[in-house]
Amino acid sequence: MFRIETTENTLQLLSDVRRGQWFVHDHEALLPVALSFLRGEPISKNPHREAFEFSTTPPQFRTDGPAGAKKSDVAVIPIVGSITKYDSCFSYGAITYARAILAAAKHPDVGSIVLDIDSGGGAVNAIGILKEAIKQTKELGKPILAHVDFCASLAYWIASQCDAIFCDNALSEVGSIGGFCKIIDDTGALEMKGYKVITIYADESGDKNLFYRQALDGDYSLLKKDLSHNVALFHQDVKAGRPEIKDDSPGVFTGAMFYPEQAEELGLINGVMTLEACIENAAIRAQYNH
């Protein structure tokens, strides 16, 4: 068992919830919790351990490779729930996941890694550090696979950078390649409580927060332009990570979700495997890489 330092930043999460960009599916289900969080209402807190832990291959899943190749463990790293950059009261964040990936990649007894993903996506500022961790793992010559159940939006962005993606079962879903932004205008609520919000910008700072100010006035053009920039990077990374993807097929790059049979035909995944089978697959890849 490996233990990784964790980090929490509630203020950053507050900022992201209020005006951040999110690559997440079915965000409406998260909205009531987000609003309660912004209001400072008590929210049940997941009990965090002192450090993030991840496991390596149980003995029954260790696989012999070519003659002379040493046995090696498979690190299984769970990525569950909405993904934020930092740890929060809800879940671990991308920084902790990235630390775990790199610790496993650099460990002499670990030959490969499986990211066990069950997530609808998360904040766009979480992707950079995870992409870099996966890239460094590949540069070290260690296979890294994604075993997924529900894997949407930013979660699929992460999975697409791995060597292969395997859905867990016939009811698993992948996709939702796209992004959105939700802005909360609470000035009316503040005024009802007796507050008057006055915002003053320097004459030299006319473009500061312009997309946000325009959006509050009903003009979303700058915000859409910014979103389109990030979605283009999403598309670019998916195409690079999944070169066989049928990007011109309906729904693939417009946010649709797919079950495994169609997802495999479209190049979104490599097949269907249980976690145990995926671990064994990763162990075999590690032996032949060796």
Q: Helix (H, G, I), strand (E, B), or coil: what is residue 110?
A: strand
Write out the chain's pLDDT in tens, 290 residues. 455 555 554 545 555 555 455 666 555 555 555 555 555 555 555 544 444 555 555 444 444 444 445 557 999 999 998 898 988 766 789 999 999 999 999 999 999 999 999 999 999 999 999 999 999 999 999 999 999 999 999 999 999 999 999 999 999 999 999 988 878 787 888 888 888 888 899 999 999 989 888 988 999 999 999 999 999 999 999 999 999 999 999 999 999 999 999 999 999 999 999 999 999 999 999 988 76
Which amino acid is present at 270? N
Q: Helix (H, G, I), strand (E, B), or coil: what is residue 180?
A: strand
Domains within the chain, CATH numbers bracketed: 2-185+236-289 (3.90.226.10)
DSSP 114-168: EEEEEE-EEEGGGHHHHHHHHHHHHHTT--EEEEEEEEETHHHHHHHTSSEEEES
Q: H/E element holding 145? A: strand 144-152
Q: Contact, 78 vs 97, CB < 8 A? A: no
